[in-house]
Amino acid sequence: MKPADFLDAIVPAAQACHAATGIPASFTIAQAALESAWGASKLANSGHNLFGVKADPSWKGATVVLQTREVIKGESVMVMAKWRCYATWLECLTDRALFFRQNKRYAACFKATSGPDWCRAVAAAGYATDPQYAEKLLAMIKGRDLERFDVIAKTVKP
């Protein structure tokens, strides 16, 4: 999928999620693009999982086991992991927002008011093992001018 097609597909849902939850559309879009390689990853295609949300013991839905790269003790290694599966991208966005809301370690994220602030807060909360995670998201937001979708999101009804 080309980035422009990915944006066309995800922007309305990201804006609706922003209006309903306060999670900036720019952050949602950047994270989905980064985590799913613009919707082209095996996880995005096999499980509609755009964010790399793993299936912890509390997850009761469908799962898929796939290999992933993690940074462990400063080393990049390949490991097998169990991931959440969704029926649609919208279901994925909705669950991710719920995941952030219910997980206490992300409480500080909801004090952030912009996409860039969310990037930093989520990385600081330990969402990813990549030490450059926030910088990658910030570059995506800036490079694609994704904050333009945050302004529009304020007028979208959930």
**In this predicted model, what pLDDT tens digit does every residue of 79-119 receive, in sequence order?**
888 999 999 888 999 999 998 999 999 999 999 999 999 99
pLDDT of residue 152: 56
pLDDT of residue 73: 84
Give this prediction's pTM: 0.84
95 in active site: yes
- From the list 148, 53, 37, 140, the residue with the least C-alpha distance to 95 is 53
The pLDDT of residue 156 is above 80:
no
CB contact at 8 A, 21 and 86: no
pLDDT of residue 147: 96
pLDDT of residue 154: 47
The pLDDT of residue 149 is above 60:
yes
Give residue 16's identity as a one-letter amino acid code: A
pLDDT band for position 77 (cuts 50, 70, 90)? confident
Q: Which of 91, 95, 117, 130 is catalytic?
A: 95
Q: Which of 5, 56, 70, 135 is catalytic?
A: 70
Average pLDDT over residues 67-74: 81
Distance CA 118, CA 132 (A): 14
pLDDT of residue 158: 47
Distance CA 14, CA 72 (A): 31
- Structurally, what CATH architecture does the domain formed by 3-153 represent? Orthogonal Bundle (1.10)
Q: 58 versus 120: which is more confidently predicted?
A: 120
